[in-house]
Amino acid sequence: MANFFEKLGDSISKGAATVNQKANDLMETNKLNQDIKAAQAQKEADIVKLGQLLYNFKKNPGSAEPDYDAVIADMDSIDAKIDSLKKQLQDLRNEQICPNCGSAVPKGTAFCPNCGNKMPVPEVKPVNPCPSCGKENTPGDKFCQYCGTPLNQEAPAAEAAPVVEEAPAAEAPVLMCPQCGTPYNEGDKFCQNCGKTL
């Protein structure tokens, strides 16, 4: 009986850790989106300021030419900040951007499902995924840094992935690429594995 309660306690702890992590991810996503919007608003204000400087200069031809460089430099720094924030958001969502069409594509996808462009191969880093929450940990860690679950060092990351992929497959009909047999989602225009037009 004690074993039952121990397992129940572990299950509740794991569930609470997962909910907590998802809540933290959601808060971080919202914060990044707010920061991006604020930076975009500042850039729009700089564009208006630049236009006003140009308008005033053209309206008064005898006046000294204004210093556009300071406003442009501010806009460049805002662009760099926006790019950095968008990169953080992509990492949090585990996405990459298609260099051809700009669509958000899950990391590890071989071809963009929107335009069929071959996606760049990401740099492979050694990871130690948690079997409970799925978060990446440093190789060699014995316990998950996020939820405290003991980590199985011998289990490869590929073993956890099929469990996640099989659950949605039971709910909806599986669509398979006619060329390579890889499952794809309804609405995909190209196979993410071989690039065949669907």
CB atoms within 10 A of CB 187: 9
DSSP label of 151: P
- Mean local confidence (pLDDT), 166-177: 62
Question: Which of 44-48, 87-91, 118-122 is the most confident on average?
Answer: 44-48
**8 A C-beta contact, residue 109 and residue 119:** yes
- Provide the b/e sequence for 63-98 (b: ≥16 CB within 10 Å): eeeeeeeebeebbeebeebbeebeebbbeeeeebeb
Q: The whole model's pTM is what?
A: 0.52
For the cut 90, the answer to whether the pLDDT of residue 189 exceeds it is no
Integer angstrom CA distances of residue 48 from 36, 52, 72, 80: 18, 6, 12, 19
CA dihedral 190, 89, 33, 98 (to 10 degrees): -30
Residue 125: per-residue pLDDT: 65
pLDDT tens per residue across span 9-30: 888 888 888 888 888 888 999 9
